[in-house]
Structure 1
Amino acid sequence: MEKIFTQATVLIIPGLRDHVAEHWQTLLESRLAKVRSVAPAEIDQLNCANRVARIQAELEKIQGPVILVAHSAGVLMTLHWAVQHQHDIQGALLVAPPDLSQSWPANYPSPDLLKKEGWSPLPNQKLPFPSIVVASTNDHLAQFDEVEQMAKVWGSQLVNAGAVGHLNPAAGFGSWPMAEQLIAQLDAVNMENI
């Protein structure tokens, strides 16, 4: 399999289910030449501060610019990280962010539990780096118009991926070539600044 080369190091930030073998993030990680991944939380797995600390710990191991690639709750972790820390972030690909004000299906944490674990309120400000938000028109964790509003607040480019569910294996996504294209777009920003 041919490796994908980027100028920036790509940091994969999975959601609450961490690394799933058939997830597009895991498959993407195996194809990238310059990549790291946030390790799963071994204790306090639902604690937002613990998740944010794991992002910071991984970033401290990387020299040079970084492109963050977050999915689902990983997007929320990224937002909390961005208001607490600084690093040379080239850009961020933020895929299928969930809406914390929406009631999620029974197999997901409740809004009350997430608030108790520090997930809300979500930072509500422009991100200090370029970002692309990818949203689905039929995601069971967020209405498209809510994600559109999030992207506007964050200063992000919004990509409508169509009716693709939560962009995860349950929605039929293993390999997702669009991620590679969007990472290349963010990586090109690095080349423009050289």
Structure 2
Amino acid sequence: MIDSPRTAAAVTVPGIDGSGPGHWQTLLDADPAFLRIQPASWSHPERDDWIAALDRAVAVADRPVLVAHSLGTLAVAHWAARPDLPPVAGALLVAIPDPAGPAFPATAGSFREPPLTPLPFPSIVVASTNDPYDPAGAAAGFAEAWGSRFLDLGDVGHINTDAGYGEWPLATTLIDSLRRA
């Protein structure tokens, strides 16, 4: 729950279990211009709850950039398919998991079948060729369907702490480019 309204330039939307200590999203959240969504549960995600958490965060932000990782990217896609959205500057969608893939968490079933329509704001999809949560490379298809710029980083895993992504200056560069778009 967001305790008091504040103006945020970016809203972070982590994946299942949240982004732990040292994760690039957690490091970005140390900046007071970043605001993390607060769903009821990170470990037992429910799409409608995460969408409501995203609504609450965006409501106290000033045309933010959405900064999503993993399951959070699918939450953004579901959120963006609704009418009458508040204005956002864009979305950075990192390490989209394949909802039809073998590693997709069973507890995240409500996130399956994300909309395949263009997002109503600029977006950048960042992917890896060896992401264990996207072994078939579904991220490229999502980028095309959503009208997103696609950036393939090569063999870098899930673009998280386990893959060596703590400090990640490229994320800041991409967020800034969306803010200027």
Local SS of the residue matching 2:154: coil
Q: Distance in 2 between matches of 1:166 and 1:69?
A: 15
Q: Deviations 1:156-194 (Å, cap 9, x if unpaired)?
A: 0001111110011111111111101101111111xxxxx
Q: Distance in 1 between matches of 2:44 and 2:53?
A: 11
Q: Aligned Cα RMSD in Å? A: 2.0
Q: Residues 10-159 of structure 1 correspond to what in structure 2 (within 5 A)?
A: 10-30=10-30, 32-42=31-41, 45-62=44-61, 64-84=62-82, 86-104=85-103, 109-110=105-106, 113-115=107-109, 118-143=110-135, 145-159=137-151
Runs (4+) of structure 1 exceeding 6 A deviation are: none
Task: Tell me if structure 2 keeps the 8 A contact 1:13–1:37.
Answer: yes
CA drift at 1:18:
1.2
Gap runs ≥5 in structure 1: 1-7, 190-194
Write the distance in 2 (CA, Å) between the matches of 1:44 and 1:158. 29
Matched length: 174
- Structure 1 residue 51, shift from structure 2 partner: 1.0
Q: CA deviation digits over 1:103-126, x for unaligned, max 9?
A: 10xxx623xx533xx212211111
Q: Distance in 1 between matches of 2:151 and 2:136?
A: 11
TM-score, with length taken from structure 1: 0.83
Instruction: Structure 2: give runs of 5+ residues left out of the alignment.
Output: 1-7
Question: Identity of aligned pairs, percent?
Answer: 36
The Cα shift of 1:44 comes to: 8.2
2:152 and 2:42 map into 1 onto residues whose CA distance is 35
Point out the structure with max Rg over C-alpha. 1
Q: Secondary structure of 2:157's partner?
A: coil
Question: Residues 149 and 21 from structure 1, CA distance in 2 versus in 1: closer, same or farther, beyond 3 angstroms?
Answer: same
CA distance in 2, matches of 1:168, 1:21: 11
Say whether the 8 Å CA contact 2:93–2:124 is kept in structure 1. yes
Residues 118 and 146, structure 2, Cα contact 8 Å, conserved in 1: yes
Moved more, 32-41 or 120-129: 32-41
Aligned-partner residue type, residue 82 of structure 1: A
Which residue is 2:4 aligned to? none
Residues 103-154 of structure 1: CA distance to partner in whole angstroms, max 9, x if unpaired?
Answer: 10xxx623xx533xx2122111110000000000110001363211110000
Q: 1:19: Cα distance to partner? A: 3.6
